[in-house]
Amino acid sequence: MDRLFPLLGRAMAGATPFFCGVVAVALASVPVSLLGGQIPPPLLALMPVYFWCLVRPDLMPPAIAFIIGILQDLFSGGPPGVWAASFVAAYALVDRQRDSFAGLSGVGAILGFAVAMLVASATAYVIVAIYYAGFPPVGPLVMQISLSVLCYVPAAFLLGWLQHHVVGPLRSDF
Amino acid sequence: MPNGSWKIARGKGGAQLPLAIVAVLAVVLVLIGKAQSSLFDRARAEFSDWSAPLLETVSAPVGAVSRWVDGIGGLFSTYQDNLRLKQENARLRQWQGAAIRLEAELTRERALLHAVPDPAQTSVAARVIGHSVHPFIDTMILDAGKDDGIKTGEAVVDPRGLIGRVFITGHHTAWVILLTDLNSRIPVMIAPGNAQAILAGDNTPEPYLETVSETGKVHPGDPVVTSGEGGLLPPGLPVGVLVADGTRYRVALLADAASSGEVRIVGFKNPPEQLPQVTPADLPASPLPLQPQPQPPAQLPAQSQPAAVPGSKPSPSPAPSGPH
């Protein structure tokens, strides 16, 4: 029993980033509109991917980011693989430039997410343009990027709280 | 902010190889999705059937909060809303009288003309459990599917007008492509001149008219309804109102997909057209004889005749051309 609880705790802490991604994907599909449906909802699922890729990459491996992207594709109803590839592209950027991103704080941290969001959105745009052999309007994409960056401010506090109070104490092996 | 205050796991990612693998997987997924879209559609239908309870669970508290917030906002406009509704009610009563009179007139005219009745329509009410508004996609998930008699291609309407059409059906869920979606193409008719057009979505709130027939003039403010061309959607479903947008026309939709909590899926079956029976008199030539034709006897070259046209009656021997 003494060994079971730590194991369960570690499993729970390990699953928290993925679970946050799933909840974010489901939340984005809730039929509640922002400003009468004129503005696309924020890309919530990228927030846990970015956060844990930076803070605890061992809890957010590329495969988990890829699976969250596939879930986003399945829930969105769009062409398959668009968000999966976009999340992987954003992950690759953060993973390669971790030192640069890690040094950011305050507004810089928000800008870091904005860059990741920009890379994910640009990747999605290019894939969709190739997929449909045409250029979709850029306006909704710009609105989604702006809204996502704004929403990252409270989301980062929430994810930080989870990391500090749930994931950190249970997985303090690093 | 998290980046600065959290201990960053520098160099612990070690994700180069897995990253390359998932990047390749992502590209393969996009290619498979393009080549075999039906495969992914089936997976999506299964997935939405499976995840419907999760969506409903997540939707319930968020929807309750949203309704509560809307309710608070509505408290301040109750008096104005009441006045507006009273005026609207009085206007609708006038329209109701006109509609009843016109319906009676239409029934009488149809009886006089022995007009073919419109195809029967069935409808299923469903609740919206998911709504995906993304920069490239505008879809909805409903809590009714194949088991409720819903089929792919059927029209989805709210009390105001057409919202979209079903494009994937699971057993308990259905996916709707909205009129505003990038891939939506709907045949419509602009009412006064009956001009035919294709309504195309471009992920903006007002879809545009892609091609307009030159059979009738169109003007801003003209009502737009479904034409029923192609037998995909029932004709006459209200869609919106024409709006000028530079060199082309857009349609301000009547339906509001963002606030539609419940919708109706309209089943429509166009009866196969019954062609009139063909009589021998309608044919340009006589029918082929069923018995095999006897071989004509070998004739002398001097008495050779022109080859008979297949299917024609044997012509009588030509009269001698000259006196003997």
For chain B, the farthest-separated pair of C-alpha atoms sits apart, in whole angstroms, at: 125
Indicate the residue of A36, A84, A160 with minimum beta-carbon distance to B29: A84
Residues 6 or more apart whose Cβ sits within 8 Å of residue A4:
none
| Neighboring chain A residues of B49 at a CB cutoff of 8 Å | none
- Torsion region of B17: left, alpha or beta (phi above 0 gives left; psi -120 to 50 gives alpha): alpha
B29 touches chain A (CB under 8 A): yes
B132–A77 C-beta distance less than 8 A = yes
Provide the whole-model pTM.
0.73
Search chain A and give the residue with CA nearest B53: A26
Annotated domain spans of chain A? 4-30+37-170
* Distance (Å) from the alpha carbon of A1 to chain B's nearest alpha carbon: 30
What is the pLDDT at residue B41? 83
Is the pLDDT confidence value at B251 over 70? yes
Question: Hey, which CATH number is domain B121-268, 3.40.50.300, 2.40.10.340, 3.30.1370.60, 2.60.40.10?
Answer: 2.40.10.340
What is the pLDDT at residue B320?
38
Pairs of CB atoms within 8 A across A/B: 222
Q: Say yes or no for a CB contact (<8 Å) between A33 and B54.
A: no
Residues ≥6 apart with Cβ < 8 Å to A143? A39, A40, B135
Say yes or no: B7 contacts chain A, CB-CB below 8 A.
Answer: yes
At residue B58, the pLDDT reads 77
Contact B179, B172 (CB under 8 A): no
Q: For residue B6, which residues of chain A lie inside 8 Å, CB to CB?
A: 54-55, 160, 163
Average pLDDT value for residue range B146-168: 90
Residue A88 vs residue B219, higher pLDDT: A88
Where does chain B show beta strands of DSSP type E?
121-133, 138-142, 155-157, 162-169, 174-178, 185-190, 195-200, 208-212, 223-226, 238-245, 248-253, 262-268
Considering only residues 105 to 144 of chain B, which have any Cβ-Cβ distance to chain A shorter than 8 Å? Answer: 128-137, 139-141
From chain A, the residues in CB contact with B134 under 8 A are 40-41, 76, 78, 140, 144
User: Hey, is the C-beta of B69 within 8 angstroms of any chain A C-beta?
Assistant: no
Question: Inter-chain contact B3–A102, Cβ cutoff 8 Å?
Answer: yes
Average pLDDT of chain B? 78
Residue B67: closest CA among chain A residues belongs to which residue?
A: A32
Report the residue from A63, A89, A156 with minimal CB separation from B1: A156
Chain B CB contacts of A173 below 8 Å: none
pLDDT at B176: 93
Cβ contacts of A92 on chain B, cutoff 8 Å: 19, 23
How confident is the model at residue B303, as a pLDDT? 44
Per-residue pLDDT reduced to its tens digit, B253-305: 998 887 788 899 988 766 555 566 667 666 666 655 555 555 555 554 444 44
Which chain B residues touch A156 with a CB distance below 8 Å?
1-2
